[in-house]
Structure 1
């Protein structure tokens, strides 16, 4: 009698390890590179002004370790001054030095539920360049002055700051909403939110598309103890996002006006094929609309039309999928989603190599540094970004598959996400997974003119037929449109 082979019990860290291995990610750093990183700590400067009297704060996630950016704002009468300080990684990491060569190969940091594979050694990413509290750190500072809620001018500084506090999004939200006037950060936080209101209005006026989406994150406690949470969109998160967009757009515009070769972050308008698919889905659901989805205003008008109707929430996913993929390129094509003509990634040089390239281009042009700084790495960086996105998706799929095995839930609610000749794809509403339900013999009329039974957007109940934790693929059955019963 043959012995039954016992398969290894799969845990979340096993899934992550496997995906890292399959993607051939570079892990760890050589001893020589770590040693080299430590030699930079005493590097002196006469290029940076003293801004340590400005009470900058960092606002990040609870688990963050590498702090790229710090912010400060002050509002007086009709004037507003904003300072956005970004870690001056380029001061320590010179083009083609050992750190630069390794960072270029990685392209960006990779984030996982239980670990980070950083672009730089921790001596750089979590210490020397990280804007931790009460430590002097070298930065590039974007100073923006507003009068009567309009940008008057801006300046760029290479400066030294000392963060006055490391705050989380939740802490900032609580201090502001509960009006904790005795908190030492209260006045600054009020000025930051006042500036945020100004920036948000500017974004709306220029036509930024305000997408609504349901995203999940893994709440990781251990490899055997984790759960999925719907991300809550805090105003404090949007605040930092608007400040970073302001800095990125100002730098992008400066580089474009001065004809500086650099890496632009492009997001082109949706191609005609995607627009046609979007219109068909809207028509199939008998939704009346007047827009042609040709500009940002068309998208925003439609988003407002559907946002209060829970049955149409599936269209938020459809709208997101209709968009073009953002990418890096030397040629500037503008950013459709943000409705900005000249846009770069500047605010995260610790974790994105593209931002480090932009820093060097900016320093060369703004401070009249004659060094040759432009290198064309756009194709490589686009591939690395795609790799990170694919890994995140695969890990989420397999982690959810593993989670579903444990909770032993039978009935699920979802909406039809795709209709094909062989079956329908269904996206769950309360969990981050999709699955395929193959047609039974009488389920589908292949002649679409005969009004097929299933269409994208229909709310359905379903059960899981087969759940493969080794590839994250899930087969579904017992599909019923919501007005039917099991």
Structure 2
């Protein structure tokens, strides 16, 4: 079969746009009559993979026709996106060129001339259908039932009353396409599950989780095992061979509402060095390789956080219980004992199985107040035992921060949201998540431990999971160079092998200027996405040659995998045996962890959008000051100080006749008025749809106040 495929590929490509007939293929391959059905199946498989195209009794090479094999990744109201399967380039597809394709469909694209700098395409053929599942709002109009999809085109889809699964008008539902048409308006659907009011963020989040296949509940056998481990607790035999750190001043620092505490810290200073202890919950002691809990954790890959909800990777009996480093309770750890010289350079490390008893549950906001000298008496008393250690930790953290800047790690800014919900689970307030000295302190200590863990695995040449971040791709650098030239920041283009320090210097040059948000945004877009790999490729964004994730095994599967390998090394396992056990598995785990992280980030972002829209729905008609956060061909995005982002549609820009420069601004061709990334703008909220997470603004003129 492989020989047939290779020959068909070569031959069809050679014949280009002329194509070949089935008869010619049979002759070329010397196919006998009894083999014709077999050949038909091979051609069908090749067509389903997008390798060939069969049209008007001719067989063509997709590549020879300039067609691109891709998967539809998302659909918005009037456009969609597809990702090329081989190169992973993303193509923008105008709605009229989608041919009714929906997310998950495998398609063949033809590249077309676009309006912006991003590549654009049109769907030539749908090679194979994806699952066709989507979330939607139920509508009843003129005696007929429809589903209004959230992110799958703007056209309502027909649904029969008997296929509503009990849903009523205005409900949020999970549905599936039951009949395909040639355009979105011709599709028909059935409802799979109903969640209640579509204007409730809680209902929308539940639907989004189901669509992604995320289960809040764990299988019975996983819960049963976790409950046993929680009830069993820590026995004396669990302490054998462990370093007893219970006499050391060790404590956690985390968010006020955190319940899954997986890292604690300690610090000593000597005449010529610091000895930093980063003590991480020993999850691998409880979650055995390929056991019931491990299989479920591998499948989930990561915990998911949004609003006041957590969908944990591990059952709460472990994540909030026996594994969590709760104050005043003995807990098992995998501890990194790190020796740094007085300049903050790592000179030695030792990974040990340990047992600790945390002195206090530190809270970021309280520690920040303590370090700033603004803490009240209650906070002073809570931290009295660890106050001196905190001051010493700040001293080391400041040194590590300087080192990070010196090695040239780009300081890119990202804004996170804190969503506060009321007793009914509705969004009551949206705030920007602040970060202070305590957050920086923990981050710097965790980075140091992660670097040491990466070096430990690399030195022993064992199968391992690394956190990698590759340099920017050439095409993304081209776009960044265009912006930097337009802004007058760079006359010479950044080359594909540009060092992180060069990026950091550009950010520093723009700091404090009105162009800073543009530079920050474009540099974020230019960066590759961090991922997991079995190869130590280094971390570009942190300017580190060696890096992994070691510090959050309660929340991330890669950290648990790293712990498992380190634990085997500590136990004296033969390297050959470790390689035999994990070599194939880490390749699989890297791929799974990367994909589950991408899925979780998308889900968290979507769920946050529901809550933000729910919050803004109560503020329609109000005016706000914001800044232009990004610009696209369909309009201008404006971000408010509380992190809420809304869209000014292109048709709502005052005066009409605006031109998009394809990069960062809309400019009125007659008046010269423009909207550019980073520009302050006053807006009015005119619409907020919880079901889609969309918020609409219009600009407010100076004379309208």
Aligned length: 480
Whether 2:161 is the aligned partner of 1:161: answer: no
CA distance in 2, matches of 1:39, 1:470: 41
Please give the alpha-carbon distance, in whole angstroms, between the structure 1 residues aligned to 2:685 and 2:483: 26
| Unpaired stretches in structure 2, ≥5 consecutive residues | 1-140, 145-167, 171-196, 669-673
Alignment of 1:137-286 (within 5 A): 137-149=331-343, 150-178=345-373, 183-222=384-423, 223-286=425-488
Q: 310, 320, 337: which is aligned to 2:541?
A: 337
CA displacement at 1:66 relative to structure 2 = 0.6
For the 8 Å contact 2:251–2:358, the answer to whether it is kept is yes
How far has the Cα of 1:292 moved from its partner? 2.8
How does the TM-score come out when normalised to structure 1? 0.90
Report Cα offsets for 1:97-136 as digits up to 9, x if no partner. 1111111111111112122111111111111111111111
SS in 2 for 1:194: helix
SS in 2 for 1:343: coil
Q: For the structure 1 residues 484 and 279, does the alpha-carbon distance in structure 2 shift closer, same or farther, using more than 3 Å as the test?
A: farther
User: Structure 1's 78 and 484: CA in aligned 2 closer, same or farther, altered over 3 A?
Assistant: farther
Q: Which of 281, 290, 293 is equivalent to 1:99?
A: 293
Q: Which moved more, 1:458-467 or 1:9-18?
A: 458-467
Give, in whole Å, the separation in 2 of the partners of 1:124 and 1:360.
17
1:319 alignment partner, one of 523, 547, 558: 523
Q: Residue 416 of structure 1 contacts residue 424 of structure 1 at CA under 8 Å; is this kept in 2?
A: no
Looking at structure 2, the residues matched to 215 and 130 of structure 1 have their Cα atoms a distance apart, in angstroms, of 25
The 3 A distance-change label for structure 1 pair 170 and 21 is same
Question: Judging changes above 3 Å, is the alpha-carbon distance between structure 1 residues 152 and 378 closer, same or farther for their aligned structure 2 residues?
Answer: closer
Q: Distance in 2 between matches of 1:447 and 1:168?
A: 46
- The change in CA–CA distance for 1:206 and 1:291 in structure 2 (over 3 A counts) is farther
Match of 2:26 in 1: none
1:71 to 1:447, Cα distance in 2 relative to 1, 3 A: closer
Hey, what does 1:437 align to over in structure 2?
649
Cα offset, 1:246, TM superposition: 0.4
User: Does 2:417 correspond to 1:417?
Assistant: no
Question: Deviations along 1:457-484, whole A, 9 cap, x unmatched?
Answer: 244444445433211234444477xx89
- Which sits farther off after the overlay, 86-95 or 218-227? 218-227
| 460-469 vs 253-262, which moves further | 460-469
TM-superposed deviation, 1:11: 2.4
Residue 131 (structure 1) aligns with: 325
Q: Is the 8 A contact 1:60 1:169 kept in 2?
A: yes
User: TM-score, structure 2 length as denominator?
Assistant: 0.63
SS in 1 for 2:618: helix
Distance 1:348 1:447 in 2: 43
Q: Residue 102 of structure 1 aligns to a residue in which SS?
A: helix
Structure 2 residue aligned with 1:79: 273
Deviation at 1:403, TM superposition (A): 1.4
Corresponding residue SS for 1:67: coil
User: Which stretch of the first structure deviates more once superposed, 36-45 or 392-401?
Assistant: 36-45
Partner of 1:472: 693
Q: How far off is 1:285 after superposition?
A: 3.9
The separation in 2 between residues aligned to 1:224 and 1:364, in whole angstroms, is 47
Q: Quote the Cα distance in structure 1 between the aligned partners of 2:629 and 2:388.
A: 48
User: Pick from 380, 389, 395: which aligns with 2:607?
Assistant: 395
What corresponds to 1:378 in structure 2? 590
Deviates further, 291-300 or 89-98: 291-300
CA drift at 1:198: 2.1
Aligned partners of 1:112, 1:381: CA distance in 2, in Å?
19
1:249 CA displacement: 0.4
State the Cα distance separating 1:367 from its structure 2 match: 3.5
Query: Does residue 427 of structure 1 match 2:638?
Result: yes
Runs of 4+ in 1 over 6 A off after TM superposition: 1-6, 179-182, 483-486
Bigger shift: residues 429-438 or 12-21: 429-438
| Counterpart residue number, 1:406 | 618
Equivalent position to 1:113, from 292, 296, 307: 307
Distance across 2 between alignment mates of 1:35 and 1:309: 57
Deviations 1:59-101, CA, capped at 9 Å, x for gaps: 0000100111000012233321111100111111110111111
Q: Does 1:10 align with 2:214?
A: no
Residue in structure 2 matched with residue 56 of structure 1 by the alignment: 250
Q: Is the 8 A contact 1:415 1:429 kept in 2?
A: no
Structure 2 SS opposite 1:377: helix
Counterpart secondary structure, 1:265: strand
Moved more, 338-347 or 267-276: 267-276
Deviations 1:29-52 (A, max 9, x none): 234332322333345322322111
Deviations 1:229-271 (A, max 9, x none): 1121211001100111001000101211221111111111111
Q: Is the 8 A contact 1:436 1:474 kept in 2?
A: no
Question: How much does 1:6 deviate?
Answer: 6.3
Q: How far does residue 344 in structure 1 lie from its aligned partner after superposition?
A: 0.7
Secondary structure of the residue aligned to 1:427 is: strand
Question: Is the partner of 1:62 in helix, strand or coil?
Answer: coil
Aligned in 2, Cα 1:331/1:75: closer, same or farther, shift over 3 Å? same
The question of whether the paired residues in 1 share the 8 Å contact of 2:307 and 2:608 is answered with no
Structure 1 unaligned regions, length at least 5 = none
| Shift in Å, 1:147 | 3.0
Instruction: Give me the whole-angstrom Cα distance separating, in 1, the residues matched to 2:661 and 2:612.
Output: 35
| More strand, by proportion | 2
The separation in 2 between residues aligned to 1:403 and 1:225, in whole angstroms, is: 5
SS in 1 for 2:658: coil
Query: Structure 1 residues 426, 194: closer, same or farther in 2, change over 3 A?
Result: same
